[in-house]
Structure 1
């Protein structure tokens, strides 16, 4: 068997453990069984496919790309996707479910992909099954369809391995944290042509701050070799989660706007103890990847997702002038979502004269449906200093449903000109159809065609540095429930990106440094006209600079650091917000995470890491009346694995200084966790 170095972004492993891992379309594939050597800790991630759908050197990609690998997630003791956001330049988390702001614009559930495919999940994403997280900043519509102008986030899942491997971990921590995970993989027969992987996680947060949440997830996967060049993979995700209302909510009073939260009962829950929410998810998927000779390959994937949600409780409206009476609203929702998504594309390499091509052509199609029954009305006010929860009358309900159908044809060509220049022209044709139905008889349908072009160029000055520029466009689907004055569904919003930057690998190519400048304009934004209808006259812009440094400083010291400066403005608005800043978009955001793998006895069994996240103040609403104060948060972890022992023990401290801060909000503010995850984790691998 050949001996080959494992890609730095693949999951950590010991020597002689797995197989060559390559990436196509945001998925990990196994090929050419081999001996794998674990990478140097903190090694530079040099290749990714999120920007091109064909694994390409990041130095030669005309986009801003960041990868958070499994080793970093483990060092962070990550329990959710937002912890990866914290240590990625340009990303500011909004809550623990993975929602964020990037380059001034929100990232919603549809911008959080799994293995490159659109899925929907309105609760916390389970990270135990994630091999790495990829970030593509800026418009991504050319290859991925409608989405945020800020960024696209792709969670690359772990894949079945051809050798046996078992990992079990248990975590116990402050604020009632209990968590257990299991990861079992290997071949089913001696030929290793059929492989399996089963990942499970269970978690409980038994305290008022986290709303007594419970989560359980199960993710089985089966991979089968088809012939000598093909692979079929079938996987399923199932989870069930429950909790007590929406978490981390406090009223936004004048004192809070000045950053003073001293008068708040931080564990206050505005929801009655007997009420809460339950959500479940079932998401089976299938992938087929096959090589077509030496210079082409075909990749087809599909996924179905069903989510059932049931919410009963009260929401926070605001705080009265007395500073202690919270005004509430009763809310009851029963919803079912269905998501169907397919993506089929081919990758081919060829030459025309002196030009080298790597062409990606594909067809993407999907359907999103929702059926919702929502009831809301006034609820009894709550004394936040001495809360009591009287019974509530059920408010009247209103039923609604919508279907969003999508289809897209796309092509992107990486054209090599000489030995140093790469041109990347791209184009996408999209059709998006919306059908909305409301119980009172209102119904509206629309169908729009959108063409999204893009053009990138990279000049490779030396093998270790490059300069790039990119111009691309994208679109976002209309928000269900919004209609124009004639009762018709709205058209998609549009956005355009201009970006340029420089990338380099310094310090014997162990440290990757990227600097990028960008300008984004979003148009055709829906604005309420005060009579219940919407006009698509809004416009917003953001511009900024991002600097990121990732990799190894020495053989035992590595770093993840970044700084983003972002200026945003609402440039056209019918409600008086013109000239204001976009909500939840900080002007300054910085982070640094430093990991030291220290010699202590045999080898380097001791790992010590620490980080800081700093975010400047930002407005939480379009009217710029409520301010979320600036904050700095400290995190730390330490891990010890004696000798060749299969057992490692770690201590993780999230928010080490017990900083009280808010992440986002409007009228009421979502607050971040205090020092609640000083946790002890034990992991066994064999």
Structure 2
């Protein structure tokens, strides 16, 4: 479901749409807008959307809704205030793509499995809930000077159960691959994030010595917190005779492992049942059958404070843009715990751009800017995250570009 919320209008409008489509797709949407008072100083808009759909991919579906009321207060031509709330609820399953038999470059048949083929379980889930508040205020302090402030607050929750391949085939007792069976991992994960951004800025239009200036000066405060209470449980590896589980199979110590006959071959018993590539079966998996390794997702927090100044100066056909941004970055691992660790970065980022209008359709341009991306502790997307508090150097970049654009 790809819904774009819209801003309130002073005209009264009502729209309701319902549609059906391929793969059992059902969509419904409501869009109401208009004034709430006779003077049309207070406006509203309500967007509501619902989707329930399947997919050409086995097991995949999407079921969700979005509710997005927004209000605008415009008492005069100098001042405006808008507030928007977005409530988003999505139920689906992760799709790790189409598995194939082996992966030898230039040799493997990419059509060895059908395009609908999926490796997972019928009770897998990827459910997210989030609520976001956005507010924007603008006031003209003078004919050429405007004060603006934007605020955003979002809370996001994840509830995941997933069966996925471990990117390896099953093994027989001699550690030889059984290419019709794929090794599997089961994952349970729950986590919560909270994000808050504040951006006040001034915009000034001025003229000096025939040069037109568009000046912007502002401050950004950006923060994201990974809240305590999240956790991840992973089941993988092979079962031992003593009832425990080991991450890997060691043929030199085969006496320690449980075995079963698979396709006429003696093979170690996996913690999570292998997936049969030749005869896929999508059953309801009993998670209590697995032995999980449980991990707490440690709380984390990062904060960015930044100030910036930019001037876009225009003289005739020539436009020059000069900008500076100073950022201060703080990252906390194990936030508010006894083992809390903090790292700090600071960076001055210049920006330079020049444009020359050749004619009404063609512009020549040149751009130079610097960027950086500090290492953080709030991301859980990496396969093997670094130790908490790792103080790696940030990624740094600079862009140099020259060219011609035409419309």
- Given the alignment of the two structures, is residue 492 of structure 1 paired with residue 394 of structure 2, yes or no? yes
Partner of 1:166: 14
Describe the shift of the 1:411–1:170 C-alpha distance in structure 2 as closer, same or farther (beyond 3 A): same
2:279 maps to which of 383, 386, 404: 386
CA distance in structure 1 between the aligned counterparts of 2:76 and 2:359, rounded to whole angstroms: 41
- Given the alignment of the two structures, is residue 326 of structure 1 paired with residue 326 of structure 2, yes or no? no
User: RMSD of the alignment, in Å?
Assistant: 2.5
Preserved CA contact (<8 Å) 2:101 2:112: no
User: Secondary structure of the residue that 2:273 maps to in structure 1?
Assistant: strand
Offset from partner CA, 1:564-607 (integer Å, 9 cap, x none):
xxxxxxxxxxxxxxxxxxxxxxxxxxxxxxxxxxxxxxxxxxxx
CA offset at residue 394 of structure 1? 5.0
Partner of 1:203: 51
- Given the alignment of the two structures, is residue 502 of structure 1 paired with residue 404 of structure 2, yes or no? yes
CA distance in structure 2 between the aligned counterparts of 1:214 and 1:322, rounded to whole angstroms: 37
Describe the shift of the 1:276–1:257 C-alpha distance in structure 2 as closer, same or farther (beyond 3 A): farther
CA distance in structure 2 between the aligned counterparts of 1:439 and 1:332, rounded to whole angstroms: 25
1:437 maps to which of 320, 334, 337: 334
- Gap regions ≥5 residues in structure 1: 1-78, 80-125, 130-157, 505-511, 513-686
Preserved CA contact (<8 Å) 1:128 1:201: no
TM-score by length of structure 1 reads 0.48
Larger radius of gyration: 2
User: Secondary structure of the residue that 1:226 maps to in structure 2?
Assistant: coil
User: Secondary structure of the residue that 2:365 maps to in structure 1?
Assistant: strand
CA distance in structure 2 between the aligned counterparts of 1:368 and 1:405, rounded to whole angstroms: 7
TM-score by length of structure 2 reads 0.80
- Given the alignment of the two structures, is residue 233 of structure 1 paired with residue 82 of structure 2, yes or no? yes
CA distance in structure 1 between the aligned counterparts of 2:204 and 2:107, rounded to whole angstroms: 57
Describe the shift of the 1:362–1:127 C-alpha distance in structure 2 as closer, same or farther (beyond 3 A): same
Partner of 1:191: 39
Partner of 2:139: 290
Preserved CA contact (<8 Å) 2:330 2:342: yes
Work out the number of aligned pairs and report it. Answer: 351
Partner of 2:224: 368
Preserved CA contact (<8 Å) 1:446 1:491: no
CA distance in structure 2 between the aligned counterparts of 1:258 and 1:443, rounded to whole angstroms: 51
1:56-455 aligned within 5 A: 79=1, 126-129=2-5, 158-207=6-55, 208-209=57-58, 211-246=60-95, 248-251=97-100, 253-254=102-103, 260-320=109-169, 321-371=177-227, 372-378=230-236, 379-388=272-281, 389=283, 390-392=285-287, 393=290, 395-399=292-296, 400-417=298-315, 419-437=316-334, 443-455=340-352
Preserved CA contact (<8 Å) 2:134 2:150: yes
CA offset at residue 201 of structure 1? 1.1
CA distance in structure 2 between the aligned counterparts of 1:351 and 1:387, rounded to whole angstroms: 71
Describe the shift of the 1:252–1:473 C-alpha distance in structure 2 as closer, same or farther (beyond 3 A): farther
Preserved CA contact (<8 Å) 1:453 1:472: yes
- Gap regions ≥5 residues in structure 2: 170-176, 237-271, 380-384
User: Secondary structure of the residue that 2:299 maps to in structure 1?
Assistant: strand
| Greater RCO, CA 8 A, separation 6+ | 1
CA offset at residue 472 of structure 1? 0.1
